[in-house]
Structure formats: structure tokens, C-alpha cells
Chains A and B, each alone.
Chain A
Amino acid sequence: MSTELLAWLLPLPPLLVFFLIILLTNRHKALSHSIAVGAALLSWLGSMVIFFRAIQTEHLGLNPYTSAINWLPTGDTWLRIGVWIDPLSAATLFFVGWTVLMIFIYSVGYHNYGQPQGDHDKKGLQPYGATVADEHGHKHVVPSIEPMYARFFAFIGLFAFGMYTLVVSDNLLTLFVGWEIMGLCSYLLIGFWYQKPSARAAMIKAFLTTRVGDVFMLLGIAYLYSAVGSLSYSEIFKPETLNMLVATPAVGGFLGLSAAGMIGILLFIGTIGKSAQWPLHVWLPDAMEGPTPVSAMIHAATMVSAGVYMVIRMFPLLQAGSEHGQLTPVMTLMTVIGAFTAIFAATIAVAQNDIKRVLAYSTISQLGYMIAALGIGAYVAAAFHLITHAFFKALLFLGSGSVIHGVEHGVLHTGEHVDPQDMFNMGGLRKKMPITFWTFLIGGLALSGFPLVTAGFWSKDEILADAFGHGHWVVFVTLALAALLTAFYTGRQITLTFLGKPRTESANHAQETPWTMTLPLVVLAIFSIGIGWAGISESFPILGGIIPNFAHEFIGSTLAELPEVLPFNIWPLIVSLIVALGGLTTGWLVYRNQKVGEEDPLKIALGPLHTLLQNKYYFDELYDRIFVRPAYWMADTFTNQILDKGIIDGTLHFVARIASSVGGILRNYFDKPVVNGFGDFVGEGVKKVGQSIKVIQTGRVQQYLIMALILAFGAMFYFVFTLLQN
């Protein structure tokens, strides 16, 4: 099968699964998850085939596998859509295929397949547990199967379709289609347990916040289309097109930008929304209301990566017009926002107690890394970090889901009422859940950038090296500080969760999770370790040069000119080592003796600052004040009261009153007197006539005779008269 055809077919199995489950197999749990995992497997297989073919192809960047068809007629020309496999999309397909497959398999165990149905489980709420009796009649409460099991697989199937579409598309329009489908699925899946009010609020918040970004992105796409006349990458990235865009000033002379700059900024705002950068970061932590596989897939590995993927893809446009490595206005904006977000989110993560919230802010922070890297022009580093982050962040999220499941098992067993997601209720899970512990540790070390053996080290080090090497000092310092905080909160997280002694009975009774959940953890852990070695810089001491720098060679070949390889510099490496190891150790030291009910030491140390961090700098409250409440007020006052109730309802009531009074008039002045009156008149009239005439019937024969004779006279007179006339 040709690569292009394979690329066309890639998004289809998950889409088919979505329709099949929704229409046919919604009630059959085993059948639904089988076809879902099967579809994920098919797409994974296709992604692997495409990837392996891609890495064997020479000059894939210059001659990508591409195929397009005419789709929308636009006057004389057509809008074409199609597939595009170049090194960037091939590499993205690689990690998307693996993470999606692992998450599909994980979901089977996460939603407790094989467990009994719950006692009071309702659709729309998390499963509470089922009471089972063992041989001795002891009653235990065990985790119960998710009531909406098949629906979950339908939604993640649709989501996978959206992601694959976005990755293989060759034009911005189908990319945007995949983008929006993922936004929809994110909404549906965050609010999967829709009976929970917090989940409902979170799903709306996620959708609307990303919508803000999407509006600007759509403006950017429209502007691009009107300036270029096409949305296909092959057309946009032609040097002539880029030069034209740089040369033309932006509409309205906006801030002195060129058209390329304006478009770039607009498209980047879409990424700010989708990849949860400041200021549109507020939806991602709340999105943790969704089930953990959702958090893993959408908010770690794929959807938020889509934002970064898009800007990486549009890099030639964003970089257009820069001379001698100077940063264009767009790139400056990206650098500022990315770096700021990285440190901003890291500071908040330090003060979070929920295991998933820490990871959520960590994701925001790492995405900031990638965007900052792209902003300073480190194309390969950004892409490489995207790939490694997908693996270890998915691993961390799935691991946290495993941890939560284990503690929940303990909660159900002991009947304690503790939050199974609060790290301060955990502890000592290393002995209870070994596989989860080791894989989570690998993921955490990768996130912190533990030297040499973890993928995160290689990608993060490359970003720092690029920042240092190109002389962006502020960026370097900011990212280094963020890395320090990252390592610190990761150490904190691992220590609180796994090390020490269990702080609650539930943690004491925690159990390892089934193979459907631990197998993906192991696979992802292998990648978290190994994938980094695909990107070892050539100039690295000792190790550099043993394996060629696949990442640089392959991914870098996407661009028209291969990015330059920086000479090795010891300082970024030293800084990287210090922050990684130092942060991890500090985290371990501070928290290793955390006892039950004790205050968080950081809280004692920082005091009111900690409160600020824990409340996320009150950004949610600020947005609520500035945007949400006015919006509600406007909606209520203008649309609801004035327009809906006042004008529309008023018109209706007015018309109704007129109709009612017309009806009343017709009834009282026409229907009753004329129609009824006529009928009554006829009846009454007949009765009266009858009553007045009946006196003729006296029963007296002689009177009858007289009447007969009088009538006979009539005849006789008539006869006489005719006779007389003749």
C-alpha cells in the first residue's frame, strides 16, 4: 500500500469505532473496548509503517509523501485538501500512535472492566463501588465498572480521529478541523462524569477558553488565505510566498507588523489557547475533572501537543523575514510567553496537593518550554522535547491514575472518607504498588531531566544549550529556574506519594492495579528512557557521535535549510545537572518525613506567598470578575431579559392577546348571536310555530270538516273562475 493511501486511511479506524459504538455496540462493554483497541492498533500499525518508510527516505523534507484532492470550488481554482508526510509529521505520528494505543489499553483497566456493577452507580457519576461477599460471607466493597464504559471509548475514538487528521493533513483547513474535533472531544471527556457540577463547569471553561484562542487562529487562517489564496503547506512555504507575506504590511498597519507577522501572531494565539499558555492557561488544571486517561491523552500527549505541533509546522512562516538569526516579532512574543508560562506554572505546581494538578501545571510549564524553544529558533529542540514530553507526561498521568486507583481500592476497603487524589493522604506506596512506583519514578526523573538515562534530560538540555548558545540570557535563566522548580516539585511528588510510611489507612490498603494498566506504564517507561538517545548531540563529550543525532538529522530536514549544529558548551550542561539533581534532592529532603496531619513545610516557609501560589495567583478569580460575570450579566440582561423575555416574549404575548381578544369578539358578537342564535332561532321558531299551530288539532270532527270544505272551496273557486273566464 502506498504511503499516501496509508496516510489517508490512518484517521479512519478510530472514527469508524466512534460510530459503531454510538450506533450499535453501546451496551456491549467487551465488544466496544475490543473494537476501540483494535482500531488504535490499526492506526498504530499504520503510523509505524509510515514512520519506518519515512526514515528510510532521502530528502523527505524536500519531497514529502503528499497527495491532495480538489475539494471546495472557489471561483476558477479549487481549495485542495490532502495528506502530507514529511519528517515532522512522521515523528509526530510515531509518538501519537504509541501514546494513543497505550492509553486505549490503559482505559480498559482504568474503567474497571471485569468488576461487578456498582451498588448505587448512576450514569454521569464516578463509580462508587460494589459490595461483594467472599466465601466466608465477609462483605467487601470493591471498585465497580464504569456505567458509561462504551461511551468513553467512543469519545476517545473520535478524539484519536481528530488528532490523526491534524497530523497527516497538508493544509491549515483540515488541521483546524482536527483541532476543533479535539476541542469538542476534550469538552465531552472533561465532562464525562456530567452529573458532577465541578465537571460541568470545567468542561465549559475548557471549551470556551480554547475557543477564545481558536477565534484568533481562524482569523489568522482567513487572513492567510486572503493573502496567499491557498492554505496548503506546499503553497504557503514557498520562498516567494513567504517573501511576499513579509513584504506586505499587515492590515491597517497594525503595530508596524508585516502580514507574515500578523498571521503568525494570530495563529500563535490559537496555540496559547490550545496549549494552555498564559493567559489562557486556566482551563487545563480544571480539566483534571475528567478521567485520568483523558488527562493523559488530551492534556499531556496529544491535544496540547497539537498546539505546539502547529507552531512548529508554521515555523517557516513565523521565522520569515528574520535576518541573521534575529527574532521576528512573533518569535519574540512566543519566547516571552513561553518562558513566562514555564516559570509561572512551575511556581504554582510547587504548592498543589492534588497529584493530578501538579502534573497539569507541569504540563503547562513544559509546553512553555517548547514554545520558548521555538521562539528562540531552536526548531529541532522544540520538536524533540515535544516527542519526549509526550511519552513521559503520558506515563506520569497514567501512573497517577494507577496510584489513585490503588488508593481508591483502599478507600473502598476501609470505608474511610479521604480524597484519594490528595498526596498528603498517600505515602509508602512504593511497597504496595511496585510497578507503578518504578515507572512513575522513571517518568518523574525524565521530567526533571535526570542526566543521561532519561529522555527528558537530552531534550531539555538541548533547549538550554540553544538558549545559551544563541545568547538569550534572560530566557536561559528563566528556563533554568523553571527546571529547578520542576525537579523540586517532582521530587516532592514522588516522595509524598511513594516514599515514607502510609499516612492513611487507605494508603495502607492500596493494591497494585491490573496488567491492563501496568503494561502501558512499562512500555511508556521504556520509551521515556530510550527515546532520548535518538537525539544525542554530536558534539556531546564522550557519548556524542556514537549514535548519530537522529532527531537533528531527521526532524531538522523538514526545514529548507538544516539548522546549524551548535558547538558544545559545558555551562548549560552544568546548570542542567545542578538544577535537576539539586531540585530532586531538595524535594526528597523536605518531604521525606512528612507525617500524618502535618502542615506542608513549604507553607510554613513561604507563608502568605504559599497561599498565593496555591490559589494559582487568583487568576481564576480575576477572570471570573473581569470576563465571566460581565458576560453572564450581559447575557442575562440583554439577551435574556430584554431580547428574549422582553421583545420576543413580549411580541408573542402581544400577538396572543390580540388573537385572544379577536377570538373573544368573534365569539361574543358573531358566533353566539349569529350562528348560535340562528340555530336556536330555527329550533325555537319551529317549536313556537308548532305550538301555535297545534290548536288546529282539536280532535273535533266537525271542525276538521269545515277546514276541509273551506279548502275545497278554494279549489272550486279556482275552477269557477277559470270557467267564468272562458
Chain B
Amino acid sequence: MIPLSWYLIFAALLFCIGIYGVLVRKNAIAILMGIELMLNAVNVNLIAFWRYRDPAGVAGQAFAIIVFAVAAAEVAVGLALIISIYRRRNSVVADDINLLKW
């Protein structure tokens, strides 16, 4: 059978890939994709824990559902912001959005 550790390691890997994507990609939309990866890894973690620790309860599931909702809302808002920025500055390169610098 598959031990919990496999799922956890897998989730960790996906999460770190997501971190790499957030930190390294230039395009703002690509950064958002990285964030999506991270959220998915979290979800996998949650469901894995639910399945392996308390499959009769609904806590893990409820949590995962909430995470789904939050992720969706966040992507929508984030992309709306990026489109708005693109309309203003004609660029979605993250490094160019630096008006708050010193």
C-alpha cells in the first residue's frame, strides 16, 4: 500500500516547484500559475491527511473545499488585476511593476 510519506513528499515537491515558479518567473501570469501549483499541493496534503488520519470525519474535506473556493477567488481577482495593470502600463513583466520602490 502507499504510505502517507509518499503523498507528503510529492506534495512537498510540488509545493517547492510552485515556490520556484513564483520566485523566478518574469511574467505575472506565470507567477499566478506558480501560486496555483502551491495551492494544489496544499490541497493534496489536506486530502491525504484526511484519508490517512480520519477518513470518517469531514474536517479535512471541508477544509479542502474552502481552499478550492479561495483559490478560485484569488485567481479571478489576481488575473483581473493583471489585466488592469496591462491596460495601464502595457506590460505584465513583474519587474516592471515597481512603483512602490524607494
A255, CB-defined interface residue at 8 Å:
no
Binary flags per residue of B68-87, CB closer than 8 Å to A gives 1, else 0: 00000000000000000000
- B98 & A705 in contact (Cβ 8 Å cutoff): no
Task: Say how far A490's CB is from chain B's closest CB, in angstroms.
Answer: 114
Question: Within the assembled complex, what's the spacing in Å between the Cα atoms of A694 and B94?
Answer: 20
Main secondary structure of the interface of A (DSSP, over half): helix
Kindly state the interface size class of chain B when it binds its partner: 10 to 19
Note all chain A residues with C-beta closer than 8 A to B22. Answer: 702, 705
A705-B94 contact given A697-B101, A698-B101, A699-B100, CB 8 Å threshold: no
A700 touching B98, Cβ below 8 Å: yes
Q: How far is the CB of A357 from chain B (nearest CB, A)?
A: 101
Alpha-carbon gap, A429 to B75, bound state (A)? 134
Contacts known (A700-B94, A700-B95, A701-B94); A695 close to B23, Cβ less than 8 A? no
Assess whether A695 is in contact with B102, with CB atoms less than 8 Å apart: yes
Q: A694 CA to B100 CA in the complex, in Å?
A: 12
**Cβ-based interface call for B37 (8 A):** no
Say yes or no: B102 contacts A694, CB within 8 Å: yes
Question: Does B14 lie at the interface of the complex (its beta carbon under 8 Å from any beta carbon of A)?
Answer: no
Query: Which of B23, B100, B101, B102 is A702 in contact with, Cβ under 8 Å?
Result: B23
Docked-complex contact A699 and B94, CB < 8 angstroms? no
Q: Is A706 an interface residue (CB 8 A)?
A: yes
Q: How far is the CA of A699 from the CA of B94 in the complex (A)?
A: 10
B19 on interface, CB distance cutoff 8 Å: yes
Chain B 3-30 near chain A by CB (<8 Å), digits 1 or 0: 0000000000000000100111000000
Interface pair B102/A697, CB less than 8 Å apart: yes
CA distance A254 to B100 in the complex (A): 112
Task: Please indicate the chain B residues that have their CB under 8 angstroms from the CB of A700 in the complex.
Answer: 94-95, 97-98, 101
Q: Are B19 and A709 interface neighbours, CB within 8 A? A: yes
Q: Are B98 and A702 in contact (CB under 8 A)?
A: no
In the complex, which of the residues B19, B24, B98 contacts A698, with contact meaning CB atoms closer than 8 Å?
B98
A701 touches B97 (CB 8 A): yes
- Digitize A689-713: 1 where CB-to-B-CB distance is under 8 Å, 0 elsewhere: 0000011011111100110010000
- Which chain B positions have C-beta within 8 A of A697? 100-102
Docked-complex contact B31 and A702, CB < 8 angstroms: yes
Chain B neighbourhood of A701, CB < 8 A = 31, 94, 97
Closest to B28 in A: A701
A699's partner among B19, B24, B98 (CB-CB below 8 A) is B98
Residues of chain B within 8 A of A694, CB atoms compared: 102
Can you list, as one digit per residue, whether each of A457-473 has a CB less than 8 Å from chain B (1) or not (0)? Answer: 00000000000000000
Contacts of B56 in A (CB 8 A): none
Interface residues of A in 645-699 (CB under 8 A from B): 694-695, 697-699
Closest to B22 in A: A705
User: In the assembly, what is the distance between CA of A706 and CA of B24, in Å?
Assistant: 10
Could you tell me the distance in whole angstroms from the C-beta of B81 to the nearest C-beta in chain A? 12
Which residues does chain B contribute within 8 Å of A695, judged by CB atoms? 102
Judge whether B2 is part of the interface by a CB distance below 8 angstroms.
no
In the complex, the answer to whether A699 meets B23 with C-beta atoms within 8 Å is no
B102: which A residues are within 8 A, CB to CB? 694-695, 697-699
Tell whether B99 is near chain A: CB-to-CB under 8 Å: yes
Q: Are B97 and A699 in contact (CB under 8 A)?
A: yes
* Cβ–Cβ < 8 Å partners of B23 in chain A: 702, 705-706, 709
B residues near A699, Cβ cutoff 8 Å:
97-102
Q: Give CA–CA (A698, B95) in the complex, Å.
A: 9
Contacts of B100 in A (CB 8 A): 697, 699
In the complex the two chains form, what is the Cα distance from A702 to B102 in whole Å? 16
Interchain nearest-CB distance for B41 vs A (Å): 15
CB distance from B89 to the nearest CB of A (A): 13
Most B CB contacts (10 A, CB to CB) among A698, A699, A706, A709 go to: A699
In the bound complex, CA of A706 to CA of B31 (Å): 13
Provide the bound-state CA to CA distance between A700 and B99, in Å.
9
CB pair A702–B94 under 8 Å, yes or no, is yes
- Residues of A346-386 at the interface with B, using a CB-CB cut-off of 8 Å, are none
* Shortest distance between the CB of A701 and any CB in chain B (Å): 6
CA distance A705 to B102 in the complex (A): 17
Which A-chain residue is minimally distant from B101 (CB atoms)?
A699
User: Whole-angstrom distance between the alpha carbons of A694 and B101 in the complex?
Assistant: 9
Query: Min CB distance, B69 to chain A, in Å?
Result: 24
Closest to B96 in A: A700
Cα A709 to Cα B98 with chains together (Å): 20
Which residues of chain A are near B98, meaning CB under 8 Å?
Answer: 698-700
Which residues of chain A are near B31, meaning CB under 8 Å? 701-702
Contact with B along A170-195 (1 / 0, CB 8 A): 00000000000000000000000000
Chain A nearest Cβ from B99, distance in angstroms: 6
Contacts of A706 in B (CB 8 A): 23
Residues of A within 8 A of B99 (CB): 699
Q: How far is A626 from B97 in the complex, measured between Cα atoms in Å?
A: 106
A697 to B23, CA, bound (A): 16
Residues on B with beta carbons closer than 8 Å to the beta carbon of A709: 19, 23
A726, chain B: closest CB distance, angstroms: 20
Bound complex: CA of A706 vs CA of B94, how far in Å?
14
Nearest A-chain residue to B26, judged by Cβ: A702
- Indicate the member of A694, A698, A702 with the most B CB atoms within 10 Å: A702
Q: Whole-angstrom distance between the alpha carbons of A583 and B48 in the complex?
A: 158
Question: How far does the alpha carbon of A709 sit from the alpha carbon of B94 in the complex, in Å?
Answer: 18
Taking the nearest CB of chain A, how far is it from the CB of B86, in angstroms?
16
| B95 CB contacts on chain A under 8 angstroms | 700, 702
CA distance A702 to B97 in the complex (A): 11
Q: Within residues 42 to 82 of chain B, which ones have a CB less than 8 A from any CB in chain A?
A: none
- Give per-residue flags for A431-458: 1 if the beta carbon is below 8 A from chain B beta carbons, else 0: 0000000000000000000000000000
Identity of the chain B residue whose Cβ is nearest the Cβ of A696 in the assembled complex: B102
Per-position contact with B for A564-585: 1 when CB-CB < 8 Å, else 0?
Answer: 0000000000000000000000
User: What is the CA–CA distance of A709 and B24 in the complex, to the nearest angstrom?
Assistant: 13
Closest to B100 in A: A699
Chain B's nearest CB lies how many Å from the CB of A382? 113
Residue of B nearest to A695 (CB): B102
Roughly how many angstroms separate A705 CA and B22 CA in the complex, as a whole number? 9
Minimum Cβ distance to chain A for residue B42 (Å): 16
The answer for the CA separation of A706 and B23 in the assembled complex, in Å, is 7
Bound-state CA distance A700–B95 (Å) is: 6
Alpha-carbon distance A297/B22, docked complex (angstroms): 120
Q: Smallest CB–CB gap between A686 and chain B, Å?
A: 15
B84 to chain A minimum Cβ distance, whole angstroms, is 16
Bound-complex Cα distance A695 to B94 (A): 17
In angstroms, Cα B99 to Cα A702, docked, is 14
- Give Cα A648 to B98, complex, Å: 76
Task: Provide the residues of chain A in CB contact with B24, threshold 8 Å.
Answer: 702
Shortest Cβ gap from B100 to chain A (Å): 4
Task: Apart from A694-B102, A699-B99, A702-B23, list 15 A-B contacts with CB within 8 A.
Answer: A697-B100, A698-B98, A698-B102, A699-B97, A699-B100, A699-B101, A699-B102, A700-B101, A701-B94, A702-B22, A702-B31, A702-B95, A705-B23, A706-B23, A709-B23
Q: List 10 A-B contacts (CB under 8 A).
A: A694-B102, A697-B101, A697-B102, A698-B98, A699-B99, A699-B100, A699-B102, A701-B94, A702-B24, A706-B23
Going nearest first, the 10 A-B pairs with the smallest beta carbon separation are A699-B98, A699-B101, A694-B102, A697-B102, A699-B100, A698-B101, A700-B98, A700-B95, A702-B23, A706-B23
